[in-house]
Amino acid sequence: MKSTLLKVLATVALGATFVLPAAQAQDKPLKVGVTAGPHAEIFEVVKQEAAKQGLNVQIIEFSDYVQPNVALASGDLDANSYQHQPYLDNANADRGYKLVSIAKTVIFPMGIYSKKVKSLADLKEGARIGLPNDPTNGGRALLLLQSQGLIKVNPTAGLKATPLDVVENPKKIRFIELDAAQLPRSLDDTDASVINTNFAMQAGLNPKQDSLVQESADSPYANVLVVREKDKNRPEFAKLVAAYHSQAVKDFIAKKYKDSVVAAW
């Protein structure tokens, strides 16, 4: 009898050792990297929607475009939400990351801002224009300037155009390449700067009211939710996408940002 009781207790104890880690794994938060500003604000709503599905999301904010991918690739994050597809493609190619997008999130129409002129037509010869210094956003900025008739870019350069690909520049514009996050601060020193909407809003600018022009809403630069390729089929991510694509998140984006940020799904 005593021997049987000991076997039962041993079995229960052994079972407990297997149950405990499983319970702990469920409590482990899903770490998602975002840039400060709209991405972080939107993800606060995503977090609330995810919690309804039993998903514990921890939001980690970054102040630049480089570190969220570094942290995801190294395993310090489970996912990130801050970049558009061309930027991700370029990061994978340049740094050898194996990161993939699992859903579209929002589009931030890029805009041209100035404290010196009220219209692009007022730009003088030799005007200094600030551009993001990363390949995809820099090319995006040049294409926006081209759409306004200020320059012409070699069509073979595609989305990765640089100032070296400018083939026509009648106003002899000088391009000042800076980190994207620093461009709002450059407005005191440049005649105009091409700024990503999230950084413009973070700096207190209103994209609809303060920009001279903006990209059209059909921009190919939709932002994406990104994970490591080997993890893309984790069931938690299906819940995370469902939370992001919820009506509550779409309503928040429409009410909070009007047409400055557009849902891409």
Dihedral angle, C-alpha 17, 18, 22, 28, nearest 10 °: 40
What is the tally of structural domains in the chain?
A: 2
**Same domain as 117, residue 79:** no
Domain boundary among 178, 196, 214: 214
Does residue 139 share a domain with residue 86?
A: no
State the pTM of this model: 0.74
Mean pLDDT of the chain: 90
What are the tens digits of pLDDT across the range 48-102?
A: 999 999 999 999 999 999 999 999 999 999 999 999 999 999 999 999 999 999 9
What range does the domain containing 128 cover? 111-214
Same domain for 89 and 141, yes or no, is no
| Stronger pLDDT, 179 or 4, i.e. the higher one | 179
Q: Please check whether residues 36 and 161 belong to one and the same domain.
A: no
Same domain membership, residue 83 and residue 34 = yes
| Tokens describing residue 27 | 């409590």
Does residue 89 share a domain with residue 138?
Answer: no
User: Do both 13 and 99 map to the same domain?
Assistant: yes
Q: Are residues 67 and 94 in the same domain?
A: yes
- Between CA 251 and CA 247 the distance in angstroms is 6
State whether 6 and 52 are in the same domain.
yes
CATH code for the domain in which residue 93 is found? 3.40.190.10
133, 209: one domain:
yes
| 182 confidence band (pLDDT: 50, 70, 90) | very high
| Angle at alpha carbon of residue 76, lines to 49 and 263, rounded to 5° | 35
Q: What mean pLDDT comes out for the span 229-244?
A: 98
